[in-house]
Structure 1
Amino acid sequence: MRETDADVVIIGGGASGLSLAHALATSDDTGRHTGGSDRLSVALVEAPEGPSRPAERTWCFWEEAAGEFDAAVTASWRRIRVHGSDGQVFGGDLGPLRYKMIRSAGFERLVHTRLSELDHVRLLRATAHEVRATADGTEVRCTTADGLPARVRGRIVYDSRPLPSLPPARTTLLQHFRGWFVRTRQPVFDPEVADLMDFRVPQPPHGLAFGYVLPLGPRDALVEYTRFSRAPLSRESYDRALRHYTADVLELGELEIRDAEQGVIPMTDAHFPRRAGAGVFRIGAASGATRPATGYTFSAARRQTRGIAAALRAGRGDAVPAPWSRRAMAMDAVMLRALDTGRVEGPQFFSTLFRRTPPERLLRFLDGRTGLFEDLRIGFAVPMWPMLRTALELPFLPRRPAGASRTAVAQAPVTGVLLPHDPPPP
C-alpha cells in the first residue's frame, strides 16, 4: 500500500481544492497550525482520468483588472449587458472590475505548474473512498490510477467533493444550462461586452429562462441557454432552445459548433455544515460556496480558501470561514422563494435590478462585498411587497430534503454546421 504523510490533506482538484493548495503552498509566512514557523506540507488528492474525474468546466467571476490567475483567464470583459424581454438593454461599464472566464483545464495547468516547483506539496492521482479519524489525526483511503490502494495521513483534511445529497431546504431550484462554443461566418460579436442575461427567449410556465453570451472574439463565443426551474431538460430540448436563440434572437446566421458543455447547479437556501468530522472540513460548493441567487461559486471558493490559509497561519486549523454572510443568505432565501412561488416574475425582477443599479455596485453586491446601506438601496430596487410577504413567511416554513446533489457539468465535443429555425423548447 502506498502511504503519504502531510500536515494538510486536500481532497479534490477543482476550483476550491486547487485554490486552497495554491493559497497554502505559495504563502511565504504559512506556519503549522500548531503555531510553528515551518511550512505546512500539503498532499493534494485528485481523481485520475476516468469516470470519477469531472469534465472540463467554465468558471466566471469578476475582480479588479489584475488577478493572481490571469495567466489562465480565457477572456475578460469591461462591460456587461442585460436584455429585457421587451428588447430594452441595461448595463454598462464595470469601472475597475473585469468580468472573467477561466476554463478548468487551464486553471489546473497553471496551479499544477506553480505547485510542481515546491517541494512541500505532493500530488496524488487517486480516488478517495473513505476519510476517518485516527489517534494522531486523519486518514484518507484511496485507490490510485493503476488500481492500487493508498493511504494519506494528515493532521487536518479539507474535502471539496460534491455532497451525495443536498441538505434540507425550504426552497431548492436548479440552474441548468447547455452552452455551445460557436464560430460564425461573419464578425458579429463585440469582444468588449458580455451579455449576462437575455430574456428575449420564450419563458417557461415556472421559473425563468435566458440566454448568455460570452464573446471570445469577433467570430467566436460561448452561447448558453439557461433555466431556473425545478427539473432539468433533455439535451434535445436545450439544443432546440439554442438553435432558436442563435438563429431567431441573435440572428447569427450560419455557424459552426466547435464544442459544448452542459450542467446543473443547485440554488438552495439549505444550511451546509462545514465540519464533516474530527479534523475533517468541507470546502467549496460542498460547504455552501455556490451563491443561491446566482449560481456563482468561483470567487466565494477563493475567498474561503484564502481565509483558511490565514487561519492556519494564525494557528486556527479548525476555522473554515462561511463562504457568504448571513445577510446575503437571508436575502437570497427571500428571492428564491419569491421566484419559486411566482410572486415575482423572473425577467422583470432581474431587468429591474440591472436597470436601477449601476453595474459595478451590482456585481459587488452579488459578490457579497457591499455594506448594509448599499444592500438596502439595492433591495428597494426590486418589487417591495412580494419580497416582504415572502420574508415574513420564511421563518415558518419547514426545511425538507431536496434530493440528490447535482453539480456535475458534462461536456462533449461536437462539430457541425447549425441549421436554424427549429421551434423553441416547451
Structure 2
Amino acid sequence: MRRAAEAEPLRLVVIGGGAAGLSLAHWLVREDLAGRPDGPRFDVTVIEAPEGPLRPAPRTWCFWDDGPGEYDEAVLAQWSRLRITGPDGSTVEAAPAPLRYRMLRSTAFEELVHARLAAHPRARVLRATVHQVRTRPDGRPGARVRAEDAAGRPLTLDAGYVFDSRPPTRLPPARTTLLQHFRGWFVRTARPSFDPGTAHLMDFRVPQPAHGLAFGYVLPLAPDRALVEYTEFSRHPLTVPEYERALHGYARQVLGLDEFTVEEVEQGVIPMTDGRFPRRVGPAHVRIGTAGGATRPATGYAFAAVQRQSRAIAAALGRPAPPGRPAPAPVPHGRRALAMDAVLLRALDTGRVDGPRFFTDLFRRTPAEQVLRFLDGGSTPVEELRIGLRCPVGPMLRSAAELPLLPRRTPPGTRPEPAPDPREDDR
C-alpha cells in the first residue's frame, strides 16, 4: 500500500497557452494517462493570458513530419512537394517523401489540446496574468506563482515545478543576432492561381535588403486560397507600411495576382541568435519554447524542437524522483547543431555568403529530405557532414575561425538576461 505522500499528484504549472505551453501540457497528460491503473501522477494547471493585449492573435505553425502525428485533427493543410526559386527565376522542385510540410493554426491547436486536458481528472486551464514566479517562501521544494485573474483578483499557486513559455523580454548577449521577421496575407483570388500540392518554401524573386536576405513564401490552401508571406532575415523589423508594400509587390508583380481579397493577416518576429538562452531560472522554474532555446538559430523553426523538449520533460517527470529534485530542462538542440548555426549566422551577417544563392544551391545539390531534417533539427551527423561539404567552404571556414575571438554583446535596445540561479548551471 502506498503512503499518502506518494499518492499525492505532482503539482505542475505551465505558463502560456501557445505552442510550447500547450505542447508540454499535451505530453504531460498523454504520459499520465498511459497505463496508470493507480490514478494520475500529475496535477496540471495551464495559465493562459486573458483576452487583451497579452493574448496573441491567431497564428500559424509549420513543421515537417513523416507519418501520423499527435495533432492530425488540427492540421489545416499539408504538402508533399516543395519549390525553391532563385533570384534569377530558376527553380528547384522536390518531393521529399516520406516527409510532408504541415500547417497548424493556433486556434484549432488550442481547441484540440484543451479537449485533451478536459479528459484528464487533474488538469485545468486558467485565464490569468502572471506577475511573478519565486521560490516558495515556506522553504518547501517548488515554486510560487503570483498572478491576477481576468477580473483583477490576485491568484497564488504553489507547484512542484513551473514551466514558463512566455516570450523572452530581452535577447541574450551574442556574437550574431538577426531577426526573422515577416508579414503574411491569407488571400482569396478571383480565379484559380495556386497549386494546392506544392509549398513554395522560398522565393527569392523579391528585392533584397542591403543587409541580410528576403524571400516570398506561399502555402496554398486551395486553387484560389493561400497564405502569402514576405520574410526577411535582417537586424531590424520593418514597419507595417513597409511590409505591405513588399507584399503588394510580391503578390502582383512576382506571383501575378491581379484580383484578390486579403481575408486575414499575420505578423511575427523570431530571434535568430547564437546567444545562450538560460533554460533554468531556479531549481523548480524552467523556461521552455523560444525563451528556453527551442528556436533553431539559423532557420527559425521551433515546432519540432518544442515537441522533443516537451516529450523529454514529460518522460522525465513520469519517472520516480526524490522530493526537491531540480525540474528537467532538456537541451532542445545539440552542441553540434548550435555550432553549425553560429557559423552560418556569422557568414550571413557579414555578407560573406550570398543568402539567396546559398539556400537555392543547398536544395539543388542536396536531397531535399536531408535539408529539411537539418532545418527542423532532426538531421544525423552524416547528413550534416554532407550538407557542410556542399556549402561555400572558404567563407564558412573564415567565419568559424573568427567566432572564438568575437565577444558576446547585448543586442542594441535590450538589456542582458538576468543570470540563472547559480545552483543550477545547465549549459
TM-score (norm 2): 0.90
- Aligned-partner SS, 2:385: helix
Question: Which residue is 1:106 aligned to?
Answer: 108
Query: Residue 10 of structure 1 contacts residue 42 of structure 1 at CA under 8 Å; is this kept in 2?
Result: yes
Question: Which residue is 2:226 aligned to?
Answer: 221
Task: Indicate yes or no: 2:328 matched with 1:319.
Answer: yes
- Give the C-alpha shift of residue 378 in structure 1: 0.5
Mapped to 2, the partners of 1:180 and 1:88 lie a distance apart of: 25
Residues 245-283 of structure 1: CA distance to partner in whole angstroms, max 9, x if unpaired?
111111022111111111111110001111111311111
Q: Which runs of 5 or more residues in structure 2 are unaligned?
A: 1-8, 415-427
Query: Residue 30 of structure 1 contacts residue 38 of structure 1 at CA under 8 Å; is this kept in 2?
Result: no
Aligned pairs for 1:56-205 within 5 A:
56-134=58-136, 135-136=139-140, 137-205=142-210
Aligned pairs for 1:225-244 within 5 A:
225-244=230-249
Structure 1 vs Structure 2 CA RMSD: 1.7
Question: Which residue is 1:24 aligned to?
Answer: 28
- Give the C-alpha shift of residue 318 in structure 1: 2.4
- Aligned-partner SS, 2:42: coil
Mapped to 2, the partners of 1:351 and 1:315 lie a distance apart of: 49
- Counterpart amino acid of residue 92 in structure 1: A
Query: Residue 171 of structure 1 contacts residue 340 of structure 1 at CA under 8 Å; is this kept in 2?
Result: yes
- Counterpart amino acid of residue 40 in structure 1: F
Question: Which residue is 1:360 aligned to?
Answer: 369
Aligned pairs for 1:281-292 within 5 A:
281-292=286-297
Aligned pairs for 1:33-44 within 5 A:
38-44=40-46
- Aligned-partner SS, 1:270: coil
Aligned pair in 2 of structure 1 residues 31, 391: CA closer, same or farther (>3 Å)? farther
Aligned pair in 2 of structure 1 residues 285, 232: CA closer, same or farther (>3 Å)? same
TM-score (norm 1): 0.91
- Give the C-alpha shift of residue 96 in structure 1: 1.2
* Alignment match of 1:346 (pick from 355, 366, 379): 355
Query: Residue 72 of structure 1 contacts residue 110 of structure 1 at CA under 8 Å; is this kept in 2?
Result: yes
- Counterpart amino acid of residue 338 in structure 1: A
Question: Which residue is 2:48 aligned to?
Answer: 46
- Give the C-alpha shift of residue 55 in structure 1: 1.3
- Give the C-alpha shift of residue 358 in structure 1: 1.1
- Give the C-alpha shift of residue 297 in structure 1: 1.0
Task: Indicate yes or no: 2:23 matched with 1:14.
Answer: no
- Counterpart amino acid of residue 267 in structure 2: Q
Mapped to 1, the partners of 2:317 and 2:272 lie a distance apart of: 30
Mapped to 2, the partners of 1:26 and 1:168 lie a distance apart of: 37
Query: Residue 12 of structure 2 contacts residue 160 of structure 2 at CA under 8 Å; is this kept in 1?
Result: yes
Query: Residue 197 of structure 1 contacts residue 211 of structure 1 at CA under 8 Å; is this kept in 2?
Result: yes
- Aligned-partner SS, 2:328: coil
Question: Which residue is 1:277 aligned to?
Answer: 282
Mapped to 2, the partners of 1:56 and 1:166 lie a distance apart of: 24
Question: Which residue is 1:261 aligned to?
Answer: 266
- Counterpart amino acid of residue 55 in structure 1: A
Name the stretch that deviates more: 36-45 or 80-89: 36-45
- Which structure is richer in relative contact order (CA contacts within 8 A, separation 6 or more)? 1
Q: Which runs of 5 or more residues in structure 1 are unaligned?
A: 406-426
- Give the C-alpha shift of residue 91 in structure 1: 3.0
Aligned pair in 2 of structure 1 residues 28, 159: CA closer, same or farther (>3 Å)? closer
- Give the C-alpha shift of residue 29 in structure 1: 6.2
Residues 66-85 of structure 1: CA distance to partner in whole angstroms, max 9, x if unpaired?
11101111110001110011
Question: Which residue is 1:302 aligned to?
Answer: 307
Mapped to 1, the partners of 2:60 and 2:366 lie a distance apart of: 27
- Counterpart amino acid of residue 8 in structure 1: L
Matched positions, count: 398
- Give the C-alpha shift of residue 31 in structure 1: 10
